[in-house]
Structures are given as C-alpha cells and as structure tokens.
Amino acid sequence: MKKSILLLLLTLSLSLSAQIKLGDTLPSLVLNNPDGVKDTIAAGKGSYVLIDFWASWCAPCRKKNKELVALQNSYDVTDFTIVGISLDTDTEKWIKAIEKDKINYPQFHDPNGFDATTAVYFGVEQLPASFLFDRAGTLIAVNPTLQDIRNLLNSK
C-alpha cells in the first residue's frame, strides 16, 4: 500500500513538473494537420503565436473560433499567428467544424481528448484554452482575452 501511494505521488509530481508554465519556451510539437500529414508546430520565428485548444463539440470553442478568425484577419501572420489544436476524438467532426467555422489559420489534431499528449503538457483541463507566446517563443499569457491580445499587438 505504501509503495502504491509513493508511486502515485511520484507520478503526479513528474506529470505536474512536465506542464508548461509562464516563461517556458514553446516546444516543437508534431501533430497531424487536416490532410492527415504530420506537421511541426514551432515558435513563431519573430511573430506572436496563440496556441488555441478546442473541440468540435465545445460550444464556447465554436463561438471563439469565429472571434479568432476575425482576430487573425486583423493582423499580418508575420506579426501574429493562431494555431489551433483540436482534442476531438472524431477526425471527421473536427474537419467539418474547421470548414463550418471557416477557420483560416493552421489546425492540428491530437485525437485523445484531455488525455492527449499536448493537452497534458499544456495542462488543459477545460476548453477552450489558449496560450500566448511572444516573438522569442516564450509563454507570456495563459487564457488571455482577445482584448489583451489586441492591446499587446497594437502596442508593438
């Protein structure tokens, strides 16, 4: 019993320390794009990057998708890029949601829901969830409002 509790605590400790936190750098992530091709998500190379976790079944996510499309359209991709990561377990529903929401920024799929590697690494426990990285690829905000993002981009 003591060994089981110790093992559980060690596992929790390791998983918590593995989660990204403010000041950390965006890691290179390899996920499938809508065409089913593995692609790399990396730091923005001089642009701000918003990583947005969402799912087709999440009503607040779908509403936010429309707002993010408008936000992306307001800024040049050399200054600001949104990257969507879907936690959908159903690839077809994910692709249909991209089309229906007219998402015009890069999309990736980590199909294991909240158990997905990226969800665990980023500490995603609810959707939508977003993470803003600066031009150097450093995490500067978790779940920033759209107004926070606009204020930051307009001040640069």
Give the per-residue pLDDT at 7: 35
Cβ atoms 39, 156 nearer than 8 A:
no
What is the DSSP secondary structure assignment for residue 136, as one 8-state letter? T
CATH, domain 22-154, list 3.40.30.10, 3.30.70.260, 3.90.920.20, 1.20.140.10? 3.40.30.10
Instruction: Quickly state the pLDDT bin for 27 (edges 50, 70, 90).
Output: confident
pLDDT in tens, 85-99: 999 999 999 999 999
Tell me if the bond preceding 111 is cis, omega within 30° of 0: no
b/e code 94-125 from CB counts within 10 Å (16+ = b): bbebbeebebebbbbbbeeeeebebbbebebe
Residue type, 97: A
Q: How confident is residue 43, by pLDDT bands cut at 50, 70 and 90?
A: low
Task: Give domain limits for the chain.
Answer: 22-154
Cβ within 8 Å of residue 98, ≥6 positions away: 34, 107
Q: Which two tokens stand for residue 93?
A: 């529903």
Name the 3-class secondary structure at 132.
strand
**Chain center to CA of 65:** 12
- On the question of pLDDT at 103 being above 50, the answer is yes
With cut-offs at 50, 70 and 90, classify the pLDDT of residue 44: low
